[in-house]
Amino acid sequence: MAESTHIKQFRLMAQYNTWVNNQIYELVASLTPEERRRNLGAFFDSIHGTLNHTLLADRTWLGRFATSTCHQFKSLQDAKLIFDVESLGKELYSDFTELCNERAQTDNVIESWVSELSDEILSASMQYHNVSKTVEREHSLWFALAHFFNHQTHHRAQVTTLLHQLGYDYGMTDFIYMYNVVRDLV
């Protein structure tokens, strides 16, 4: 059976996520620890804080995907998932090299997980509570997955703004650029 356009889109988004994270993390690795941790007035203060938050949120969403539907996902069984969050600003890894390695592992999990999806799974309903446990939410998995990728893009845009403020050229990060340059992904 041929893949639907929706499945192709989410697989491409997962590939883009890995590609752009690699690009940004490579540049951020060249910064001094002081530059990575400098409070530049972002919501999570610094580049390091924002990258930590994005990994925390990704693992929290993956935890929801693993437990909020009736599907069992092989790729999420041994993954580092987060099921309970005290704070969206919690620092997972203070060491940048460790953060970088954990980001790469999680990006691999995301790509593997997305490869398990089908149209049936995407249309399935999922239920979960927000971080404060005060609001119960229910909607289709495809809707949460669209938010998942949008959230990553939102915070990567913050990181590129912070890099620009520090005088660094972060290169092309556009989705269409990756699609045109790396055609073998599709």
Q: What is the DSSP string of 111-140?
A: HHHHHT--HHHHHSEEEEE-TTS--EEEEE
Backbone angles phi, psi at 153, to 5 degrees: -60, -40
Q: Do the beta carbons of residue 108 and residue 15 sit within 8 Å?
A: no
Q: What's the pLDDT at 87?
A: 87
Rounded to an integer, what distance in angstroms lies between the CA atom of residue 155 and that of residue 42?
Answer: 10
Q: What's the pLDDT at 136?
A: 87
Rounded to an integer, what distance in angstroms lies between the CA atom of residue 44 and that of residue 50?
Answer: 5
Q: Which CATH architecture has domain 5-185?
A: Up-down Bundle (1.20)
For the cut 90, the answer to whether the pLDDT of residue 62 exceeds it is: yes
* HSE value, Cβ hemisphere, 13 Å, CA-based, for 164: 9
Each domain of the chain, given as residue ranges in start order, spans 5-185
**pLDDT tens string 9-43:** 999 999 999 999 999 999 999 999 999 999 999 99
Backbone angles phi, psi at 45, to 5 degrees: 70, -60
**Most confident among 41-45, 69-73, 172-176, 178-182 (mean pLDDT):** 41-45
**pLDDT tens string 117-135:** 999 999 999 998 877 777 8
User: Of 56, 102, 60, 101, whose CA–CA distance to 83 is shortest?
Assistant: 60
Q: What's the pLDDT at 68?
A: 86
For the cut 70, the answer to whether the pLDDT of residue 1 exceeds it is: no
**pLDDT tens string 151-166:** 999 999 999 999 999 9
